[in-house]
């Protein structure tokens, strides 16, 4: 048995790089340090995987050879007038680079999953800029951590433990013990209440613990955490304070906080269901911290206002920087979605939704973004790499995606691969293939190869390169004939 340490986990944007894997006979038998999602991937990745290339014949997906699948894909892409190349956030930067070359060669639109994730954040950052830092800085120095519209306990399970309040920083203590004390106090209270209910004191006020104002822990100097969300998430349970806002009203709360920070009056009693006094206290806490950070999630980008929510969040941080040090960072979902934005930008100048149909890169989200193109029914073929748009795009977009020739490169069967015309089984990047990925704070980390892939599973880079060569050959032949 071999033990491989310092493995980077290819699941979420936190990109934890301290995973230890025990490998026996080309199989991962034990995982240490990973979260529930990471462990689930390391131990079960082989369960529903694809092992042979597939091609659709008479309405059914049948096994074929890699050569045949490459030929068919190259034909589809070379013949297409306005193809879509989508996915890219769960593969390596090296594969994305080949994908961009392919998009330019066939004059297609290349887009990554940030288009339905943090696309609005990218648009806002382009509009107003943002002050940010690496997660190491947050770990060692941040004394106020705000998670706004994001639920790291479920989506980035080790984010809190590795980078924010539960980590022991050089200048900031972990609040783990405080949380444990809080938890045991909560349990005793529950026990007491249950005893009261069963005893003769039935009329005792069971819910007397109505909270007035902000909890005292928020006013201490040490590290503290605030969660702002529309429902009490698991992350909210471990925060010092949970601020509940009404759905689709984050914009109002952000603007109210900006108003209060500028020392202006608000004429109403409540904003989005939050009393103005609470917001005043919150604004004070934000202004009086030493190093604050706002991590925002899809609660801001996916609800009403979209990029305008991010605009105000960034502007709030800019206002706060007049008083103290404050930074803001999007909670990126897939492990290399940041890498996709980075590689796109250095190759084409734009981070996502890049249209090569005129021979040069063009970028206009809303027009050149994949969901819009599909909803309008403009594309005539698609190549999907390591993504599942049939499962995650709105109905009309997914319907139009399925209607046209569809090529999928994915290690596993997904809703998209089940509807595809050509399916390539690929090696899992970070498990069976090497590569580079970018963490959510734009730090590049190497992904390791820890086991060998099945014989017919090539790496994404290899498959894309073969398709690209195939397309070039077809175009050369066509040019010669002409």
Partner 1 sequence: MKVTLLTGRTLRQGQGKEQGKLSEQYWKSVTVCEMDPDDMKLLGISENENIKIATENGSVVLRAVKSIRAPHRGAVFVPYGPWVSLIMNSKTHGTGMPSFKGVTAEVDRAPTEPVLSLPELLKQHFKKE
Contact residues toward partner 1 (CB under 8 A) are 11-12, 36-37, 40-41, 44-45, 47-49, 56, 59, 115-116, 119-120, 123, 151, 153-155, 157, 230-234, 247-248, 298-299, 301-304, 306-307, 333, 352-353, 365-366, 369-372, 374-375, 388, 390-399, 402-404, 412-415, 418-419
Shortest Å distance, C-beta 272 to partner 1: 12
Shortest Å distance, C-beta 282 to partner 1: 21
Q: Based on CB atoms, which residue is closest to partner 1, 238 or 260?
A: 238
**Distance between CA atoms of residues 391 and 404, nearest Å:** 16
Q: Based on CB atoms, which residue is closest to partner 1, 14 or 465?
A: 14
**Distance between CA atoms of residues 109 and 65, nearest Å:** 28
Shortest Å distance, C-beta 140 to partner 1: 27
Shortest Å distance, C-beta 384 to partner 1: 13
**Distance between CA atoms of residues 304 and 243, nearest Å:** 19
Q: Based on CB atoms, which residue is closest to partner 1, 59 or 216?
A: 59
Closest CA to 66 of 480, 475, 453: 453
Q: Based on CB atoms, which residue is closest to partner 1, 122 or 468?
A: 122
Shortest Å distance, C-beta 180 to partner 1: 20
Shortest Å distance, C-beta 325 to partner 1: 30
**8 Å CB contact between 20 and 3:** yes
Shortest Å distance, C-beta 330 to partner 1: 13
DSSP track, 130-192:
-----HHHHHHH-SEEEEES--HHHHSTTHHHHHSTTS--SSS---HHHHHHHHHHHHHHHHH
Q: Based on CB atoms, which residue is closest to partner 1, 8 or 301?
A: 301
Tokens of 127: 């509009």
Q: Based on CB atoms, which residue is closest to partner 1, 110 or 285?
A: 110
Tokens of 148: 């706004």
Q: Based on CB atoms, which residue is closest to partner 1, 167 or 387?
A: 387
Alpha helices by DSSP H, 349-459: 370-376, 389-392, 395-403, 415-418
**8 Å CB contact between 22 and 5:** no
> Which residue in this structure is represented by tokens 């820890």?
450
**8 Å CB contact between 15 and 34:** no
**Distance between CA atoms of residues 165 and 177, nearest Å:** 11
Q: Between β-strands 354-355 and 109-112, what pairing exists: parallel, antiparallel or unpaired?
A: antiparallel
Q: Based on CB atoms, which residue is closest to partner 1, 402 or 451?
A: 402
Shortest Å distance, C-beta 237 to partner 1: 9
Q: Based on CB atoms, which residue is closest to partner 1, 206 or 415?
A: 415
Shortest Å distance, C-beta 347 to partner 1: 19
Q: How many beta carbons lie within 10 A of that of residue 142, not counting itself? A: 29
DSSP track, 249-292:
-HHHHHHHHHHHHTT----SSEETTEEHHHHHHHHHHHHH-SEE
Q: b or e along 76-91 (b: 16 or more beta carbons within 10 Å of the residue's beta carbon)? A: bbbebebbbbbbbbbb
**8 Å CB contact between 155 and 303:** no
Shortest Å distance, C-beta 415 to partner 1: 5
The DSSP 8-state label assigned to residue 33 in this structure reads: S
**Distance between CA atoms of residues 432 and 440, nearest Å:** 23
**Distance between CA atoms of residues 84 and 343, nearest Å:** 18
Shortest Å distance, C-beta 303 to partner 1: 4
Shortest Å distance, C-beta 406 to partner 1: 9
Q: Which helix (H) or strand (E) holds 335?
A: none
Q: Between β-strands 54-57 and 27-32, what pairing exists: parallel, antiparallel or unpaired?
A: unpaired
Please classify residue 259 by burial: count the beta carbons closer than 10 Å to its beta carbon, then call 0-12 exposed, 13-18 middle and 19+ buried. Answer: middle
Q: Based on CB atoms, which residue is closest to partner 1, 172 or 417?
A: 417
Q: Based on CB atoms, which residue is closest to partner 1, 224 or 404?
A: 404
Q: Based on CB atoms, which residue is closest to partner 1, 342 or 371?
A: 371
């Amino acid at each position: 048995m071999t033990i491989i340490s310092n493995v980077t986990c290819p699941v979420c944007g936190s990109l934890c790089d301290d995973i230890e894997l025990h490998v026996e006979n080309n199989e991962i038998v034990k995982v240490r340090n990973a979260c529930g999602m990471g462990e689930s991937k390391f131990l079960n990745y082989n369960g529903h995987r694809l092992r042979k290339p597939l091609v659709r014949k008479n309405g059914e997906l049948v096994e074929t050879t890699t050569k045949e699948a490459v030929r068919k894909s190259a034909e589809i892409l070379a013949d297409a007038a306005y193809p879509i190349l989508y996915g890219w956030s769960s593969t390596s930067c090296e594969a994305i680079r080949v994908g961009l070359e392919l998009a330019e060669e066939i004059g297609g639109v290349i887009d990554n999953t940030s288009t339905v994730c943090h696309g609005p954040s990218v648009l806002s950052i382009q509009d107003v800029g943002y002050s940010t830092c690496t997660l190491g800085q947050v770990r060692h120095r941040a004394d106020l951590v705000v998670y706004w519209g994001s639920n790291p306990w479920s989506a980035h399970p080790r984010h809190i433990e590795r980078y924010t309040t539960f980590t022991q920083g050089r200048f900031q203590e972990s609040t783990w013990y405080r949380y444990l004390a809080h938890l045991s106090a909560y349990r005793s209270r529950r026990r007491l209440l249950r005893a009261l209910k069963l005893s003769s004191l039935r009329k005792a006020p069971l819910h007397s613990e109505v909270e007035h104002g902000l909890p005292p822990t928020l006013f201490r100097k040490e590290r503290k955490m605030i969660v702002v969300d529309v429902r009490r998430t698991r992350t909210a349970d471990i925060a010092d304070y949970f601020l509940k806002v009404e759905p689709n009203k984050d914009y109002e709360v952000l603007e109210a906080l900006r108003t209060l920070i500028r020392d202006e009056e608000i004429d109403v009693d409540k904003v989005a269901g939050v009393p103005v006094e609470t917001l005043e206290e919150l604004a004070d806490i934000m202004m009086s911290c030493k190093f604050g950070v706002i991590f925002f999630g899809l609660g801001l980008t996916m609800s009403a206002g979209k990029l305008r929510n991010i605009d105000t969040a960034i502007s709030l941080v800019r206002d706060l920087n007049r008083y103290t040090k404050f930074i803001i960072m999007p909670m990126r979902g897939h492990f290399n979605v940041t890498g996709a934005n980075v590689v796109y930008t250095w190759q084409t100048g734009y981070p996502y939704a890049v249209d090569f149909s005129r021979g040069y890169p063009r970028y206009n989200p809303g027009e050149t973004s994949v969901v819009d193109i599909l909803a309008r029914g403009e594309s005539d073929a698609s190549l999907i790499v390591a993504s599942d748009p049939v499962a995650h795009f709105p109905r009309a977009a997914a319907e139009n995606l399925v209607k046209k020739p569809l090529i999928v490169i994915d290690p596993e069967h997904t809703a998209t691969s089940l509807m595809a015309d050509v399916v390539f089984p690929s090696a899992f990047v970070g498990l069976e293939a090497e590569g580079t990925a970018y963490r959510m704070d734009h730090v590049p980390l190497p992904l390791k190869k820890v086991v060998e892939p099945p014989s017919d599973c090539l790496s994404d880079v290899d498959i894309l390169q073969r398709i690209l060569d195939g397309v070039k050959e077809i175009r050369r032949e066509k040019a010669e004939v002409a």
